[in-house]
């Protein structure tokens, strides 16, 4: 079993409200509380981007929020997955035509999973996170593969020097 096996099932989540109406945000919190209660699987809403594996982001991102979102994304360690929740996070939604809405999270940071809905239901959000887990595992495997290749090259070089 890999040392990172816990990542497969119990990711830590960072939630940020990037100019949404609050509807999706309270649904994200509803996922964590009784009835849906994903905390029982060890999925924890952390406030610290440096501890997070999955970024749940809602809203269409206004001008002032762009830097904050980028900053949060960059602080998260690899591998990381971004889940855009709700219609606003996908395209700007009903706020698309507002003068200071960027329109979609993917214009600021790369997005892996889109969760539809206005507001997105907790079931959909959980489904989105489960999809994100698969992508997280893929990214992790890729990183591990790249690291192994680097190691092999280094070993080969060392072996070449010693002979």
Partner 1 sequence: MPERIIVPFGPQHPVLPEPIHVDLVLEDELVVEAIPSIGYIHRGLEQLVQKREFTEYVYVAERICGICSFMHAVGYCQGIEHIMGIEVPDRAKYLRTIWSECSRLHSHLLWLGLFADSMGFENLFMRSWQLRESVLDVLEDTTGGRVIQGTCKVGGVRRDIGQEKLDEMLRALDPFEEQCRDLGDVFLNDETVKYRLQGLGVIGKDEAYALGAVGPTARASGVPSDIRETGYAAYGDLGFKPVVETAGDCYARCAVRVKEVYASIDLIRRTIDGMPEGPLDVKVKGTPDGEYFSRVEQPRGEVIHYLRGDGTKHLARARIRTPTLANIPMLVKMLPGAQLADVPVVVLSIDPCISCTER
List of residues contacting partner 1 (CB under 8 A) = 15-27, 29-30, 33-35, 46-49, 59-60, 62, 64-65, 68, 72, 94-95, 97-101, 118-119, 121
For partner 1, which is the closer residue by CB, 24 or 105?
24
Q: How far is the CB of 146 from partner 1 (least distance, A)?
A: 30
Q: How far is the CB of 122 from partner 1 (least distance, A)?
A: 8
For partner 1, which is the closer residue by CB, 39 or 106?
39
105/125 Cα distance (integer angstroms): 16
Q: CB-based burial of residue 58 (10 Å sphere; 0-12 exposed, 13-18 middle, 19+ buried)?
A: buried
The number of beta carbons lying within 10 Å of the beta carbon of residue 6 is 11
25/125 Cα distance (integer angstroms): 11
Q: How far is the CB of 111 from partner 1 (least distance, A)?
A: 18
């Amino acid at each position: 079993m890999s040392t990172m096996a816990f990542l497969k099932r119990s990711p830590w989540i960072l939630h940020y409200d990037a100019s949404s109406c609050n509807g999706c945000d309270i649904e994200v919190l509803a996922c964590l509380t009784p009835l849906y209660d994903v905390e029982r699987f060890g999925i924890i809403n952390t406030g610290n981007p440096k501890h997070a594996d999955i970024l749940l982001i809602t809203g269409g991102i206004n001008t002032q929020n762009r830097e904050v979102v980028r900053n949060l994304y960059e602080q998260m360690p690899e591998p990381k997955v971004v889940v855009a929740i709700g219609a606003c996070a996908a395209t700007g939604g009903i706020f698309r035509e507002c003068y200071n809405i960027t329109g979609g999270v993917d214009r600021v940071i790369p997005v892996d999973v889109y969760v539809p809905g206005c507001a997105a239901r907790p079931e959909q959000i959980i489904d989105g996170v489960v999809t994100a887990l698969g992508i997280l595992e893929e990214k992790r495997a890729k990183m591990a593969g790249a690291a192994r290749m680097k190691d092999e090259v280094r070993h080969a070089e060392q072996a070449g020097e010693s002979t």
